Chains A and B, each alone.
Chain A
Amino acid sequence: LAKTTQPISMDSYEGQEVNITCSHNNIATNDYITWYQQFPSQGPRFIIQGYKTKVTNEVASLFIPADRKSSTLSLPRVSLSDTAVYYCLVGDDRGSTLGRLYFGRGTQLTVWP
């Protein structure tokens, strides 16, 4: 299983762009990269998933370099409500029924006014 490494915490101000980088040096060919957001006492919420290059949705962008050994979650113009823990997960997905995913330590993002 590919282990992930993320910064433990990050601080930002409202309106700024935030980039959270995750390292996953041992990512396997079949692995996808997925990011989740979690608020206190709530279940994690899926944000975005990608395999390579760039993925964008209404919430965030995910940048994955060609070697796939890292990925960067980009949150444009953050607000106070984006204060949460962000988890980077790497695991087999399409074509697998095992569902073996592991959450790393996550990054606590704090947005200040």
Chain B
Amino acid sequence: DTEVTQTPKHLVMGMTNKKSLKCEQHMGHRAMYWYKQKAKKPPELMFVYSYEKLSINESVPSRFSPECPNSSLLNLHLHALQPEDSALYLCASSQAGYAGTQYFGPGTRLLVL
């Protein structure tokens, strides 16, 4: 199984809402990633988890809060987002120490109103 799944596929939320994005993989990977991608732009790294510990936070605003409950799951909690946060949010995983070979999920298309 080389699949990374993400839920929901689409999400519309108001600026006062709290929502969560979920990511799951069953490849035994111990590194997991969140990326943000705006239209016609490359993915931008947000967070990296290695062995369930946050190892990289690319100066992401605190309205984005990642969580790694176990080695298979990665969540991104959203609170008080702004319209400019509307984007495709991608989750990826890899073997720890093999960052170049990442497996990406299909993404969650987020619209903030």
Contact of A100 among B43, B45, B107 (CB under 8 A): B45
Task: Return B61 CB to nearest CB of chain A, in Å.
Answer: 19
Contact of B48 among A41, A92, A99 (CB under 8 A): A99
Chain B residue contacts of A44, Cβ below 8 A: 43, 90, 102, 104
Task: Return A83 CB to nearest CB of chain B, in Å.
Answer: 15
In the complex, the answer to whether A93 meets B42 with C-beta atoms within 8 Å is no
Count of chain B residues near A, Cβ 8 A: 30
Contact of A93 among B4, B45, B90, B98 (CB under 8 A): B98
Complex CA–CA separation, A24 to B91 (angstroms): 26
Complex CA–CA separation, A17 to B99 (angstroms): 29
In the complex, the answer to whether A42 meets B50 with C-beta atoms within 8 Å is no
Task: Return A33 CB to nearest CB of chain B, in Å.
Answer: 8
Task: Return B14 CB to nearest CB of chain A, in Å.
Answer: 23
Judge whether A102 is part of the interface by a CB distance below 8 angstroms: yes
**Interface residues, chain B, CB within 8 Å of chain A?**
4, 31, 33, 42-45, 48, 50-51, 55-56, 88, 90-92, 94, 96-107, 109
Sample of 16 more A-B contacts, CB < 8 Å, known A32-B100, A100-B45: A34-B100, A43-B91, A43-B107, A44-B102, A87-B42, A95-B97, A96-B97, A97-B50, A97-B55, A97-B97, A99-B33, A99-B48, A99-B94, A101-B99, A103-B43, A104-B42
**Interface residues, chain A, CB within 8 Å of chain B?**
32, 34, 41-46, 49, 87, 89, 91-106
